[in-house]
Structure 1
Amino acid sequence: MSPPTLQSFIAGRWIGSQGATVLRSALNGQPLSRTHEEPIDFAEAVDHGRREGNKSLGALDFQQRAQRLKALALYLAERKEQLYALSHHSGATRADSWVDIEGGNATLFSYAGIGGRELPSGNVVHEGPAMPLGKLGQFAGTHILVPRGGLAVHINAFNFPIWGMLEKFAPCFLAGMPCVVKPATATSYLTEAVVRLMDESGLLPPGSLQLVIGSTGDLLDRLQGQDVVTFTGSADTAAKLRVNANLIRHSVPFTAEADSLNCAILAPDVAPGDPEFELYIKEVVREMTTKAGQKCTAIRRAIVPRLHLDAVAEGIRSRLAKVVVGDPALEGVRMGALASHAQQKDVGERLDMLLQSSDLLFGARDGFAPRGEGVEEGAFFAPTLLQARDPHAEGGAHDIEAFGPVSTLMAYDDLDEALALAARGKGSLVASLVTHNPATAAKAAPAIAAWHGRLLILDRDAAAESTGHGSPLPQLKHGGPGRAGGGEELGGLRAVKHYLQRAAVQGSPTMLSAVTGEFVRGAKVIETEVHPFRRYFQDVQIGESLLTHRRTVTEADLVNFGCLSGDHFYMHFDEIAAKNSQFGKRIAHGYFVLSAAAGLFVYPGEGPVLANYGLDNLRFINPVGIGDTIRARLTCKRKIDQGKASPLGDPQGVVAWDVEVTNQNDEVVASYDILTLVVKRGA
């Protein structure tokens, strides 16, 4: 029986029935699936994404797309076991697959949360605050971010066929940009499986996601200036794709997250017997054996004090000798196979190159015998530890990467030399510094950060919660300079903004308010007879405003507030000291001004406003003295419908209010935003 044929998902339909290239199990070499022979009409794919994808995604706002991501994550979580069963054939252990499957799902959840917390109800992000550009206050400027209206092409690597796809898809989808995903062929059967589940969920708007099995053909030649290309893979392939004539002609943004020569530095303050010494050895071995070393973030260069080189080598060898390699289905197996036989051949060739400048400390000669039936036909590779003869020499582990369970020890004499060796990687995704000395970390961090996208500082305090050297997180940047490609695959809101177009907007405050969907000071306000706090979420208008009555500040106010709060700072109570200050008089507590303003604008009766749950951007601009008279203006700044309900089940939204407190001279004395939960009408 011939293996099943994988299909591409193009223009809303699955295509491919004639088998082409056979993909084999990494465990035993048995045929697993085939790519399809039918060519893909990339003109149709691009047109469908730009036309249908942008239309359907644009019909949703940021908040609604965030809700779709969460629902999609829940849907995949319920069906993850079928993905685990398939992932087994890629040579991955259960723990390896957990990173790929659960890690991918966690990324969906994370971006759903980021969207819900940080993005508006709409498709325009205001990067404020607006800044005045004229003396009369009627000409201002600001920045907005909007969906690009193009198409994203994601070209992914073989090592994380699920997480690697979802880490790009999640921020792209949240940004409202349709994408075409091209997984590496060797493990494309896993990407196809998860895309099928996503399609079956019914949660994907038409055209928002397409899948290419096999070659990209002329896809890159069809892209335009509003499109984006992201790539994960080898630095050599990234360099070739980056100079595509069409991409250059149309200035198509191209970012790469390339395999890099990441390092881990054991600081000179760490000695055998210290907790950090054992943490270092454990981290190096974990990065060598997790996913059989097939991680773009794996430790390729282990930089250690010359004084402790032998102790580190012995510690790593001892741990590697206990690693059981074989079929992950067998109990006790801790490391599986490489993802393909082609990868096995490539790692072997790279190891031969590294051995020209390094000595073998541990490898296949040290009892390597994979366990399991049929493993002799599998793509297994022995964990291999090398030692560079001259860490400063050209080539070697500073330039050659064996993308498997291979690491090279390098000795140094002082911290400056260690930092110089780290930089020899010519730009990497991640470095680890293992130290318990804050002064060492403070000195080393700037030098390491200049050459690396992420830095893990590991010690006994962080160890219990550390996610490890090789674990990118959705909240933090994943990418690196130089050889690492210069990309930023993750990074919270930064990654979403990568798929949006930034533009400067100039005009009157009223026009800027209309464009941004957010009240800009100086814009026309809407005065209503009904107090804003008595209006339901749907009824509150951006720019709806209340100018309060006045209140004159007295000495009794200062005394009473000081006694109530316990704040007896001399500027509020010492007449002589205050008179000698820059203010020349006693001034009111800033938080009294804040409280007094609330007393001026808060509606005391029962109404739709449930709670004030936050305060942002507070500034005390001018002092308030005894005898000054203050008033407040409360204006609806923005509304966010997160699709949530109260614990009692009442639908509600978030309303942010701009508050400006002025004195008798119309000078602003305090400025801030308050966030309120407001019930929806009809709840």
Structure 2
Amino acid sequence: MTTLSTEILRPASYVYGTWHANADGQTLLDPVYGRPVAVISSEGVDFAQALQYGREVGGPAIRRMTMHARARALRALATYLMERKESYYTLNLLTGATRRDGWVDIEGGIGTLFSYASMARRELPDERFVPEGKVEQLGKGGTFVARHILVPREGVSVQINAYNFPVWGMLEKLAPAFLGGMPSLVKPAPQTAYLTERVVRDIIASGLLPEGSLQLVTGDPGSLLDHVQEQDIVGFTGSAATAQKLRVHPNIVGRNVPFNTEADSLNASVLGLTVRPEDPEFALFVKEVAREMTGKAGQKCTAIRRPLVPRHMVEAVVAALRQELSKVTLGDPARDDVRMGALVSMDQRERVRETLQALQKEARIVIGGQERELLGGDREKGAFLDPTLLLCDSPLTATGPHELEAFGPVATLMPYDTLEEAALLARMGRGSLVASIVTHDRTEATELVMGMASAHGRLLILNRVNAKESTGHGSPLPQLKHGGPGRAGSGEEMAGIAGIKHHMNKVAVQADPTMLATITREYVPGGEVREDGVHPFRKSFDEIQVGDSLLTHRRTVTEADIVNFANVSGDHFYAHVDEIGAREGIFGRRVAHGYFLLSAAAGQFVSAAPGPVLANYGLENLRFVEPVGIGDTIRTRLTCKRRIRKDLRPGETRATGVVEWHAQITNQNDALVATYDILTLVERARDAFDPQPEPLTPLGEASSAEA
């Protein structure tokens, strides 16, 4: 059991490069015992100055970094924070959450930094911009082309977060904003702002992010939104009602400031019509509903609020949930034997009680309603609420269970008779962040997905196959969309690379091929190339430049080539080997295998001797444009399209990069017959970003560790 300090915390704001604290302000109470835990205030903070500081100091500093440099900074920061996680867990207990609940918030938040850092290095170029999509040919002669590129917005990402995830809520917004080139101004919810502030203090102390990258306002937001401008972005996580108010703020509307909402929603979980009590899916459904009702004391935007079950299974499900929920011990989250703590505040408990009372107009309590034994904590001064399950017998005609959300350990069970009805009930939540479908029947799952997809941001199909690896109904992942239509806010957080691009401006650049290649640093077909007499495969990663090119010797394709390739490959398709069949086919003659052309082209451009090129890393975007028959002559132009530096991984000793080559095979008429991109692994020199090699220990001498 952890012993908590009785010292009253005074979380400060961090704005325009300084910590700003006040002696007086709003007093926050510990939701477990009702004791004063913190005093917060934003009195005296100049919000206009804070935003300008982010635009003038933080933004330019981040934009000077490449994508990969930003990613490396995030990864280093994640490692730094992970080493200090125990201090966060201690403060987490003051919020009323157990250590298990805190794991999702703390290590889940830090893990999001790791995930985004990895995605950016793997999927984005090491540039300060992101080329997007293909090059568009705008003119017949090939001299007028265009491509979209993404560049950072020159504003501040204003992030307004809810109380239930004071660490994850900040870091899951900070990561894509920073990678997208924007500084963040974080406004956490007052009730748990002291935990957010502790993490921010460590981030600032680390010095791993440029100054101005992150600012924090712990108290009332005051006039903050009055000062946002067109280049800024506002992201909000919280209730749908608050989101509606902020979305129509006059300055946000007047300046057309992008506003992203991730709002609480009435998420559903559907037990399949084919599931029987003895099936593994039945137990999975019961455990998932119970876990989502009690995790974070039900204070999750993704929690299951509406379990939907076949009508004939209602009694079995209620009995199983009663047994499962009876195992949930309630009390002081610092105790090892407690599984569920308190709600975040007395005010929040009263709001949940009021909503619970309203829900009982159309539903009845079947589990809960009586206070169970409390293992530590104070019933009178603490914000405890027992897990409560209601049953709505006529959900199709009810309104409250589809409109009212008790943001606590409360769910309303609803029966259905057909899969169509189940999908309709799920959609009656008017837009949700997530829904889950628990079934092993593939036809059933498919019908439910098609019936529910339009009203949800994420759908989980849970069954015996994926249960061990599944992250669960209520776990947003950095790689996936976190948001939903309608009531859920119509926003999109994280969503992998899309979360980064949300913080960037998309612009179409029209130019000639060489100019466009110069700007995007990627070769554009039709643009100028460089041929300096040195075979491109004899150059190291550091020596090769975009546009370096080789035009090979010619080769005439013979009947022997086709026959030999057919025998070696086993590909005796009629178009290659059957004279009569080929004459009657679409080509009117026998043609060479497409993969023969690739092999022949490789023979034309490969430099056989050992050198900087270590391996073929892959082939992309292959297109066969024109057939090549017996007697046709081919040659290949190979051009460096782009370069991608690879980080050294643990155990690797040879520094490398990936060079992407654009290959064009043409015939005797200079007509394009095939085009593709080749990826090669090429040796590079070590640089400042590589870990330094371990010094060699002379033979016969013991290392310091052995000594």
| Aligned partner letter, 1:195 | V
Q: Distance in 2 between matches of 1:595 and 1:450?
A: 47
What corresponds to 2:235 in structure 1? 230
Q: SS where residue 377 of structure 1 aligns?
A: coil
Go from structure 1 to structure 2 and tell me whether the alpha carbon gap of 1:73 and 1:646 turns closer, same or farther (over 3 Å shift).
Answer: closer
What corresponds to 1:361 in structure 2? 366
| Aligned partner letter, 2:334 | A
The match for 1:57 among 47, 62, 67 is: 62
What corresponds to 1:169 in structure 2? 174
What corresponds to 1:96 in structure 2? 101
- Post-superposition CA distance 1:84-104 (Å, at most 9, x none): 111111121221111111111
CA contact 1:63–1:642 (8 Å) conserved in 2: no
Q: Distance in 2 between matches of 1:136 and 1:100?
A: 56
What corresponds to 1:547 in structure 2? 551
Q: SS where residue 674 of structure 2 aligns?
A: strand
| Aligned partner letter, 1:501 | N
CA contact 1:338–1:344 (8 Å) conserved in 2: yes
1:649 equivalent to 2:673? Answer: no
| Aligned partner letter, 2:683 | V
CA contact 2:362–2:398 (8 Å) conserved in 1: no
What corresponds to 1:342 in structure 2? 347
What corresponds to 1:599 in structure 2? 603
What corresponds to 1:390 in structure 2? 394
Give the CA deviation at 1:390.
2.3
What corresponds to 2:160 in structure 1? 155
1:11 equivalent to 2:12? Answer: no
The match for 2:71 among 66, 69, 79 is: 66
The match for 2:485 among 478, 481, 484 is: 481
| Aligned partner letter, 1:125 | V
Go from structure 1 to structure 2 and tell me whether the alpha carbon gap of 1:558 and 1:63 turns closer, same or farther (over 3 Å shift).
Answer: same
Q: SS where residue 525 of structure 1 aligns?
A: coil
| Aligned partner letter, 2:495 | G
The match for 2:413 among 391, 409, 412 is: 409
CA contact 2:457–2:481 (8 Å) conserved in 1: yes
What corresponds to 2:641 in structure 1? 637
Could you tell which deviates more after superposition, 258-267 or 324-333?
324-333
TM-score between the two structures when normalised by the length of structure 1: 0.97
Q: Distance in 2 between matches of 1:29 and 1:594?
A: 73
| Aligned partner letter, 1:290 | G
Give the CA deviation at 1:681.
4.5
Q: SS where residue 75 of structure 2 aligns?
A: helix
What corresponds to 2:184 in structure 1? 179
The match for 1:673 among 674, 677, 687 is: 677
Q: Distance in 1 between matches of 2:435 and 2:572?
A: 49
Superposed counterparts of 1:476-515, under 5 Å: 476-515=480-519
Give the CA deviation at 1:682.
7.1
1:43 equivalent to 2:69? Answer: no
What corresponds to 1:267 in structure 2? 272
CA contact 2:389–2:411 (8 Å) conserved in 1: yes
1:250 equivalent to 2:261? Answer: no
The match for 2:300 among 285, 295, 298 is: 295
Give the CA deviation at 1:442.
1.8
- Post-superposition CA distance 1:436-462 (Å, at most 9, x none): 211112222122110000011112112
Q: Distance in 1 between matches of 2:514 and 2:407?
A: 57
What corresponds to 2:357 in structure 1? 352
Go from structure 1 to structure 2 and tell me whether the alpha carbon gap of 1:451 and 1:46 turns closer, same or farther (over 3 Å shift).
Answer: same
Give the CA deviation at 1:119.
0.8
Q: SS where residue 121 of structure 1 aligns?
A: coil
Q: Distance in 2 between matches of 1:477 and 1:146?
A: 22
Give the CA deviation at 1:120.
0.9
Could you tell which deviates more after superposition, 389-398 or 224-233?
389-398
Could you tell which deviates more after superposition, 306-315 or 449-458?
306-315
Q: SS where residue 440 of structure 2 aligns?
A: coil
Could you tell which deviates more after superposition, 221-230 or 549-558?
549-558
- Post-superposition CA distance 1:148-192 (Å, at most 9, x none): 111110101111111111111111111111110100111111111
1:109 equivalent to 2:100? Answer: no
What corresponds to 1:118 in structure 2? 123
Q: Distance in 1 between matches of 2:364 and 2:641?
A: 65
- Post-superposition CA distance 1:13-45 (Å, at most 9, x none): 111141311122222222222113532111211
- Post-superposition CA distance 1:596-634 (Å, at most 9, x none): 211111122232222221222122222222222211111
Give the CA deviation at 1:648.
5.0
Q: Distance in 2 between matches of 1:230 and 1:668?
A: 48
Q: Distance in 1 between matches of 2:445 and 2:377?
A: 48
| Aligned partner letter, 2:454 | A
Give the CA deviation at 1:236.
0.3
Could you tell which deviates more after superposition, 482-491 or 573-582?
573-582
What corresponds to 2:331 in structure 1? 326
Q: Distance in 1 between matches of 2:194 and 2:559?
A: 76
Q: Distance in 2 between matches of 1:490 and 1:99?
A: 16
The match for 1:84 among 71, 77, 89 is: 89
Q: SS where residue 505 of structure 2 aligns?
A: strand
Q: Distance in 1 between matches of 2:25 and 2:39?
A: 6
Q: SS where residue 111 of structure 2 aligns?
A: helix
Q: Distance in 1 between matches of 2:379 and 2:364?
A: 28
What corresponds to 1:203 in structure 2? 208
Give the CA deviation at 1:389.
3.7
What corresponds to 2:627 in structure 1? 623
CA contact 1:646–1:652 (8 Å) conserved in 2: no
Go from structure 1 to structure 2 and tell me whether the alpha carbon gap of 1:516 and 1:482 turns closer, same or farther (over 3 Å shift).
Answer: same
CA contact 2:160–2:235 (8 Å) conserved in 1: yes
Q: Distance in 2 between matches of 1:249 and 1:373?
A: 48
Alignment RMSD (CA, Å):
1.7
Q: SS where residue 450 of structure 2 aligns?
A: helix
- Post-superposition CA distance 1:51-95 (Å, at most 9, x none): 111111011010110111111111111111111111111121221
- Post-superposition CA distance 1:264-287 (Å, at most 9, x none): 111211122122122111111111
Q: Distance in 1 between matches of 2:7 and 2:537?
A: 68
CA contact 1:644–1:653 (8 Å) conserved in 2: no
Q: Distance in 2 between matches of 1:556 and 1:89?
A: 80
The match for 2:588 among 584, 603, 606 is: 584
1:439 equivalent to 2:443? Answer: yes
What corresponds to 2:458 in structure 1? 454
TM-score between the two structures when normalised by the length of structure 2: 0.94
Identity %: 55
Q: Distance in 1 between matches of 2:173 and 2:566?
A: 53
CA contact 1:18–1:38 (8 Å) conserved in 2: no
Q: Distance in 2 between matches of 1:144 and 1:394?
A: 49
Give the unaligned 5+ runs of structure 1: none
Q: SS where residue 527 of structure 1 aligns?
A: coil
| Aligned partner letter, 2:507 | A
What corresponds to 2:704 in structure 1? none
Give the CA deviation at 1:645.
6.8
| Aligned partner letter, 2:185 | V
Go from structure 1 to structure 2 and tell me whether the alpha carbon gap of 1:423 and 1:682 turns closer, same or farther (over 3 Å shift).
Answer: closer
| Aligned partner letter, 2:545 | Q
Q: Distance in 1 between matches of 2:470 and 2:650?
A: 34
Give the CA deviation at 1:249.
1.0
What corresponds to 1:75 in structure 2? 80
- Post-superposition CA distance 1:338-373 (Å, at most 9, x none): 1222211211111111112110001131x5222115
What corresponds to 2:697 in structure 1? none
